[in-house]
Amino acid sequence: MRHGQWVRFYRALPLFLLMVPATTPFGATSATEVSSDQSTAPALKNEVMLWVVGKPNGTNHTTSWDTARSWITAHRDAITKVAAQTYFLDSAAPSHLTVDRDASNFLGSLHASGLKTLPWIVPGRGLNKTQQLAQIEQLFHTPEPFIAAMKADIVARKHFGVNFDLEPWFGHNTSIAWPMQHRYADFLTLVSRELESVGAVVTADLGSTPSYGGNGMYTNVSVFGAVPLHPGITMSTYQLGLNFSGHIADAIAAFGPARTGIGLCEGCHNVNVTQSVVDGAFKTISAAGVTELDWFALVVRGTTVVDEPGALWLPHLRAFLAS
């Protein structure tokens, strides 16, 4: 994710937040408590997930979630799943879950329209890299209250699952191996087992990202191969000119084609994106046999939509869903 735009995760404007108490005993929610049509509906062969950034960093306005909803409605034939920044680690108590009311209501409206919805979870906002690491480490040390609260919210709101994006911000053009990735894998395995009991899935955004220089891994996808992710999403494919096919092969080696999500990004490229470049990328995707594409990201600034999949991409996304 690019420095100037995607640092939004951690320094966004204050939102109306809802503290969700972990009143449900860990592991106490039964599978019968989920009556979600998202969980029980037959899965399509292929899926396209869209991340939505409803309140980007550096703006002094109230973002209109209606703008994002209208765009999604108009392009419903190219999307099956939506993830929005909904869950945050609480800055004061990382073992508690913080929920953005606006994003939660936004996902609720999309669920009512038949889309699969996933709260997207990031570290607490306004923290530097040292604080983020300490926060995440505390979560890994005492995960049970957080998982119980998240599980209860997913059941109550009938979400399809959850999308994890716990990537500490290390700064622009820094390639670094995240020191806690093995603990992250153990944590995701624990979360996956809990949510499986209520028919929900866990997805995670993994790999190197362009803003980290694109050369190092903040996470090595091979570490996560045994984690029951559905899917494991590689962000290493955001830049089409940066060993695109090789990064796809790495992800498939870890997860297999049926559990691999290929991250795509409109504004992340280090090459001139032409029709032939996009056509070539989708030829590679088709040959790989993966079943999910993940678009980063629909960014909404007031009534303006930024970085949406445009005319070069939408026909390919629709064809991917139809294949």
Task: Summarize pLDDT for 261-307 with one digit per residue, the tens.
Answer: 999 998 787 778 899 999 999 999 999 999 999 999 898 877 888 88
Rg (CA), the chain: 18
* Main-chain phi, psi angles of 119, to 5 degrees: -60, 140
Say if residues 210 and 239 touch (Cβ distance below 8 Å).
Answer: yes
Cβ atoms < 10 Å from Cβ of 33: 16
Q: Tokens for 147?
A: 């998982």
* Secondary structure class of 71 (helix, strand, coil): helix
Q: Which residues of the chain have pLDDT under 70?
A: 1-44, 55-63, 168-179, 208-218
Residues with Cβ within 8 Å of residue 148, at least 6 apart in sequence: 22, 24, 25, 26, 27, 28
Question: What pLDDT is stored for residue 149 in this prediction?
Answer: 95
Instruction: Indicate the SS3 state at residue 121.
Output: strand
Give the pLDDT of residue 75.
97
Question: What is d(CA 136, CA 280) in angstroms, rounded to the nearest whole number?
Answer: 38
Please give the pLDDT value at position 69.
92
222 vs 234: CA distance, rounded Å: 11
Q: Alpha-carbon distance 190 to 185, whole Å? A: 9
Token digits for 198? 């209520």
Residue-level pLDDT at 245: 93
Pick from 173, 254, 159: nearest CA to 208: 173
Q: Residues for the chain: how many in total?
A: 323
